[in-house]
Structure 1
Amino acid sequence: MTQSRLEYLGPSAGQAPRAKPTIWARLPIAFIIVVVVPTLLAAIYYLLIVTPRYVSEARFVVRTAQSGGPGAIGAALQGVGLAPAQVETFAVHEYATSSDSIRNLKQNYDLAKIYAPRGLDILSGYPRFGEAANADALQKAMRRYVTVGYDSTTGISTIRVQAFRSADARDLATALLESGEALVNRLNERATNDAVEAARQAQVRATERLAEAQNSMTAFRSEERFIDPATTLNPTSQVVGSLMASVAQLRAERDQIAREAPQSPQLGALDGRIAGLEKQIAGAQERMTGGAESLAPQVGAYERLVFNRELASRELASASAALLAAEQSAGQKKLYLERIVEPSLPEASSKPRRWFSILSVLVSTLFAYGLGWLIWSGVREHRQD
């Protein structure tokens, strides 16, 4: 029976043993490309290259001094959750990064020099890598350096300005607040001027209507040759009343004579007098209420003219009172921008958040790698099936 033998097969003579693979060699090449390289570049940039930025912070509130209920526009804005003061607050927010605000800043500050890239950092400054050097690009860049927030609970706005020097950040924040105050003053001035001008135009229109009504009355008096038809009609009415009283008295006298002496010759005379008075009464009544020479149409036309004049006079009085009130309130501000916290002078840089940024890159690349690995595994299993 043959005896089995175990032989040790090792490296041949003169051949060195294989080296143990390193941790980098055991990592998939995709993991190195997707995760390791971006994280390493982010660490190099944020720890060695990036320029620190200082943040100056200020807080303000825009309030209104208007008393009473809101107007139609204010009521509509409140219906969707916006109070009138909030509208002006958001206007200041939009103005802070607008082209007009940047144009004002450029009159006193060299923004291109303040935000010029430092050293090897070509991503933090203006213009950064791949960015043009023009007004539109500067406006977009300022939106990276200037942020404005709003607390709906307290109504307080917070403005934050970033710069590579703490003094520049504070100065720019102060200048933006001053620009916001100038905007609020312009809104005040425009609202006041519009109110005064509207009241003045209303007074002019009321004056013209009153003059027109007065001219119509003058033309009517010249044409009809009456100062006041109603005044002319009053004596005629009094005469008619007196004649009717006389007729009543004569009728009573005739009735008495007819009862006592039916054959009295006085009855014919009384009948004649009564008939004459009744004829006079009929003529006077026709002159007042009917006929071609009646005063009734003139009285109606005159009363309409008087009504129009009184209406125009009252409208002029109301317009004059409104103009006086508008002129009195012209010197009173309706909106105020009040600084709660003045722009700070930061002693240490707070941007960028280096380790947070590096960790964000790491987590993002890990997520991307894991998602890609899952997709690739599914595709590979599908091919095997």
Structure 2
Amino acid sequence: MLRLSFLVCVALPVLLWSAYLFGVAEDQYHSELAFSIRSEEIASAAAGILGAITQVSGGVANDAEIVNEYISSRAIVEEVDAEVDLAGIYRKPAFDPVFSLGGDSRIEDLTDFWNRVVHVSYENRSGIINIRTVAFTPEDARRINEAILSSSNALVNRLSEQARQDAIRYAAIDLDEAEANLRQQRQQLADFRAQYHIVDPEADVAGQLGVLTALQSELAQALVERDMLLTYVSEDDQRVVQATRRIDAITARIAEERTNLGIGGEGVNIADVVGEYEGLRTDLEFAAAAYTQALTNLALARAEGRRQARYLAVHIPPTLAQESLYPQRWLLIGLAGAFLAMAWGIAMIVYYNIRDSR
């Protein structure tokens, strides 16, 4: 009983599977392909300090990961099928239902079959994508890999073009915003000058302070002259009276000049006016620097747009196989035998446990 069940459940299926692999299954050939995505780094030295402060980096998916996902997608299956007729290539065997494509296959079935015959591996550290494609002739396998390479290169070019357009568009938006801000700061400075009827408060205050300093010096000299007169004449002397009048006039002028430092009339503090002017001037200088930087960034974006920032670097071009390595018949027979033997052993254990428990 045990021997018969083993022969029926394990030996016979493995024998039939071996007969199919060696007698029916067609030889398959593989083609290797390896490439990576390279991108030129944009020099940031011209961006300056302001660019380093205002730069915002956005996370983007790695180009190689995008291409890796693309190679396993329905989109590339449709593109490659239109170029090399995948259905015709994988229906070549007259009778091989296990390893060939079925007769009535939709795009979904073709995509599933594609992922069986096109093996993609991605090395995270180096960014290299390795592709091994299997077909029933060496030429077909290489043709499919060449089509994969062409479609991947077209995708990289589209990604690069989109990145260039986005960079120019965002740089143009930044320039418009910087220009609008610069116009606004200039208008605010013009409104300030119209309000206080002064072009440069700092220069005006410096001039008034110069006048005040000269008056104070003249007042000090007049006081000394009067004191000298009082050493040998009385206070009723005409010369002392004139000196006192001169001192009073200078003192009144100094008081008036100090009042005039409150630019614009009463209730206006000179410190507040000068502080407001300095703030407006600083904002204008910053806006002008930001506008210059935005203009530079737009020029850099347009310059980068004239050259290819991303490109596909081929490390191993599509190869042409010299001998068939697939299907791996002995490996498939061994796996089938091991699986059937394990299933048979589990079934026997369950069977004898149930029988002994009765």
- TM-score, scaled relative to structure 2: 0.86
Instruction: Show the 5 A alignment for 1:80-95.
Output: 87-95=62-70
Residue 300 of structure 2 is aligned to residue 328 of structure 1: no
Aligned alpha-carbon RMSD (Å): 2.7
- Are the structure 2 counterparts of residues 112 and 166 from structure 1 closer, same or farther at C-alpha, using a change threshold of 3 Å? same
- How far, CA to CA, are the matches of 1:113 and 1:313 in structure 2? 65
Secondary structure of 2:11 counterpart: helix
Q: Is there any run of 5+ residues in structure 2 with no aligned partner, and where?
A: 45-55
Assess, with a 3 A threshold, how the Cα gap between structure 1 residues 344 and 263 changes in structure 2: closer, same or farther: closer
Residue of structure 2 in register with 1:177 after alignment: 149
Residue 46 (structure 1) aligned with residue 21 (structure 2): yes
Which is further off, 145-154 or 276-285?
145-154
Which residue does 2:52 correspond to in 1?
Answer: none
Give the corresponding residue for 2:290.
315
Aligned counterpart for 1:363 among listed residues 318, 338, 344: 338
The structure having more radius of gyration, on CA atoms, is 1
Match of 1:270 in 2: 243
Deviation readout 1:286-341 (Å, 9 max, x if unpaired): 12137517572544433332222111111111212222222222233333321122
Q: CA deviation at 1:264?
A: 5.2
Distance 1:367 1:317 in 2: 75
Give 1:209-228 correspondences, 5 Å limit: 209-228=181-200
Alignment partners' CA distance in 2, 1:55 and 1:375: 43
Say yes or no: does 1:143 pair with 2:115.
Answer: yes
Contact 1:257/1:264 (8 A) holds in 2: no
> Which residue pairs with 1:4 in the alignment?
none
Change (3 A) 1:160 1:303: same
1:346-367 Cα deviation digits (max 9, x unpaired) = 2332211122212221222112
1:236 Cα deviation (Å)? 2.7
Equivalent residues in 2 for 1:31-110, closer than 5 Å: 31-66=6-41, 87-110=62-85
Residue 117 of structure 1 contacts residue 124 of structure 1 at CA under 8 Å; is this kept in 2? no
> Matches of 2:267 and 2:125 in 1, distance apart?
78
The answer to whether the Cα contact below 8 Å between 1:229 and 1:295 also exists between their aligned partners in 2 is: no
SS in 1 for 2:319: coil
User: How far apart, CA to CA, are the structure 2 residues paired with 1:95 and 1:53?
Assistant: 25
Structure 1 SS opposite 2:36: strand
Q: 2:259 aligns with which of 286, 291, 304?
A: 286
Distance 1:295 1:235, change over 3 A: farther
SS class of match (1:39): helix
Identity of aligned residues (%): 27
2:37 is paired with a residue whose SS is strand
Question: What corresponds to 2:53 in structure 1?
Answer: none
Q: Does the 8 Å contact 1:258/1:264 carry over to 2?
A: no
* Contact 2:84–2:143, Cα closer than 8 Å, also in 1: no
User: 1:260 is paired with a residue of what secondary structure?
Assistant: coil
**TM-score under structure 1 normalisation?**
0.80
Q: Is the 8 A contact 1:145 1:162 kept in 2?
A: yes
Q: Which amino acid aligns with 2:229?
A: I
The residue aligned with 2:134 is 162
Once residues 73 and 206 of structure 1 are traced to their aligned partners in structure 2, the CA distance between those partners, rounded to angstroms, is 21
Moved more, 140-149 or 88-97: 88-97
